[in-house]
């Protein structure tokens, strides 16, 4: 999903902009460290100290018209630097990223100063993580859904990016000892698992289609670069898994439409639904880029169609999103016609671990 936020930059007081820009960077550095990425935490801490050397980027962050945490500005900056390191056009930066050691203030400060315009331009684009690790949580939710509605699923994804998670049935999973998917797949996902396990129900996908305002083509080199840059530089396993998923999608691209959720979803939900097939709307870290009215519109639209669901044509919604307080990521499942919301799990933001609760009712978003 991509935000249409427009930013007016003012660079009259670089020192003030630098101080304001440092705040979300420092805050995100602490969060990243807690999530197990010390190198990226170091990068963000260093950026907070050196951001005054990039006046365009500092002004962009300082003047940002929306919530900087929800719009993941710190992670946009991190990805821009990672992209420069991967390109190899700044040897000192590339060497620092390869060794993950060195004079961070000197190297990152020089990179910020030299590539200020590039970084600011990169950061205007909404993050395109398309994290394949989240597919484990979505697959577990579909297994729970299959336990309640014993029928195949048709998937509709909101905010698909390159559509890699539309291929979730083609990946291999170990979900706390419960296996799923294709055991021969090169894309293997085995999050650290806590709590109970999802029901060991076979999953059948009869159709998968997504939407994004700015979909990425997995066959395009620039798109691949953007996705790889958003993987944290000290998490080689994530990068390797993403590479395998991109290779799979390059030979058999997922179906991702260019469009807006508000226009696309009503049309998809209005299409005839085959008897004996459960229609599933799912989204992972996409709704945070919508404003409150747009999120409410999505909620109302899905719930409205849910009220018209029947036992042989059920509708389900699976969400993998931050809570409103942004203090946890919840995996949620709502099935109609009964419309009972379930909090299935609390998860790591990139799917590295899953704490399975199994489905008590919840009002959490």
Q: Is the Cβ–Cβ distance between 70 and 5 less than 8 Å?
A: no
Sheet strands (E) in 228-296: 256-258, 278-284
Q: If 0-12 CB within 10 Å is exposed, 13-18 middle and 19+ buried, where does residue 343 land?
A: middle
Predicted confidence at residue 9, as pLDDT, reads: 38
In tens digits, the chain (365 residues) has pLDDT values of 333 333 333 445 667 788 999 999 999 999 999 888 999 999 999 999 999 999 999 999 999 999 898 899 999 999 999 999 999 999 999 999 999 999 999 999 999 999 999 999 999 988 878 899 999 999 999 999 999 999 999 999 999 999 999 999 999 999 999 999 999 999 999 999 999 999 999 999 999 999 999 899 999 999 999 999 999 999 999 999 999 999 999 988 899 999 999 999 999 999 999 999 999 999 999 888 888 898 999 999 999 999 999 999 999 999 999 998 888 999 999 999 999 999 999 999 999 999 999 865 444 44
Buried b (16+ CB within 10 A) or exposed e, 260-295: bbeebbeebbeeebeeebbbbbbbbbbbbbbeeeeb
Q: What is the pLDDT of residue 13?
A: 63
CA distances from 291 to 4, 23, 130 (A): 10, 23, 20
Q: Which residues face 154 on adjacent strands? A: 207, 279
Query: Which pLDDT value is given to residue 14?
Result: 64
Task: Confirm if 229 and 88 have CB atoms less than 8 A apart.
Answer: no
Q: Which CATH class is domain 132-361?
A: alpha beta
Q: Residue 206 has what pLDDT?
A: 96
Query: Residue 353: is it exposed, middle or buried by C-beta count within 10 angstroms (0-12/13-18/19+)?
Result: middle
> What's residue 196's pLDDT?
94
φ/ψ (deg, to 5) at 291: -80, 170
Domains of the chain, by residue range, sit at: 14-123, 132-361
Distances (CA, A) of 278 to 6, 59, 121, 143, 273: 39, 48, 42, 12, 8
224 CB-side CA count, 13 A: 18
pLDDT at 363: 43
Among residues 78, 30, 28, the alpha carbon closest in space to that of 233 is found at 78
Predicted TM-score (pTM) of the model is 0.86
pLDDT of residue 122: 94
- Spatial separation of the C-alpha atoms in residues 355 and 52, rounded to whole Å: 40
DSSP run (H or E) holding 109: helix 104-114
């Amino acid at each position: 999903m991509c935000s249409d936020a427009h930013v007016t930059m003012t660079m009259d007081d670089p020192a003030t902009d630098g101080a304001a820009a440092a705040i979300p960077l420092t805050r995100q550095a602490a969060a990243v460290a807690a999530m197990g990425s010390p190198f990226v935490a170091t990068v963000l801490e260093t950026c907070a100290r050196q951001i005054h050397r990039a006046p365009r980027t500092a002004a962009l962050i300082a003047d940002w018209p929306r919530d900087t945490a929800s719009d993941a500005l710190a992670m946009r900056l991190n990805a821009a630097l990672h992209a420069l390191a991967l390109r190899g056009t700044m040897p000192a930066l590339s060497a620092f990223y390869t060794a993950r050691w060195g004079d961070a203030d000197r190297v990152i400060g020089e990179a910020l100063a030299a590539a200020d315009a590039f970084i600011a331009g990169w950061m205007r684009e909404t993050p395109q993580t398309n994290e394949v690790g989240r597919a484990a949580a979505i697959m577990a939710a579909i297994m729970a859904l299959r336990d309640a509605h014993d029928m195949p699923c048709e998937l509709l994804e909101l905010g698909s990016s390159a559509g890699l998670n539309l291929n979730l049935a083609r990946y291999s999973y170990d979900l706390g000892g419960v296996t799923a998917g294709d055991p021969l797949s090169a894309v293997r996902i085995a999050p650290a698992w806590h709590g109970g396990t999802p029901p060991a129900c076979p999953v059948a996908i009869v159709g998968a289609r997504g939407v994004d305002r700015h979909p990425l083509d997995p066959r395009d080199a620039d798109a691949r670069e953007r996705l790889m840059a958003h993987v944290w530089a000290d998490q080689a396993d994530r990068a390797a898994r993403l590479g395998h998923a991109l290779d799979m999608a390059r030979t058999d691209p997922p179906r991702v439409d260019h469009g807006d959720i508000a226009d696309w979803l009503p049309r998809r939900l209005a299409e005839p639904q085959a008897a004996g097939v459960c229609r599933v709307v799912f989204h992972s870290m996409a709704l945070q880029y919508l404003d409150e009215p747009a999120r409410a519109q999505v909620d109302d639209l899905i719930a409205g169609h849910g009220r018209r669901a029947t036992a042989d044509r059920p509708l389900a919604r699976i969400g993998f999103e931050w809570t409103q307080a942004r203090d946890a990521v919840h995996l949620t499942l709502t099935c109609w016609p009964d419309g009972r919301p379930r909090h299935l799990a609390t998860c790591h933001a990139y799917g590295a671990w899953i704490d399975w609760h199994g489905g008590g009712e919840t009002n959490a978003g």
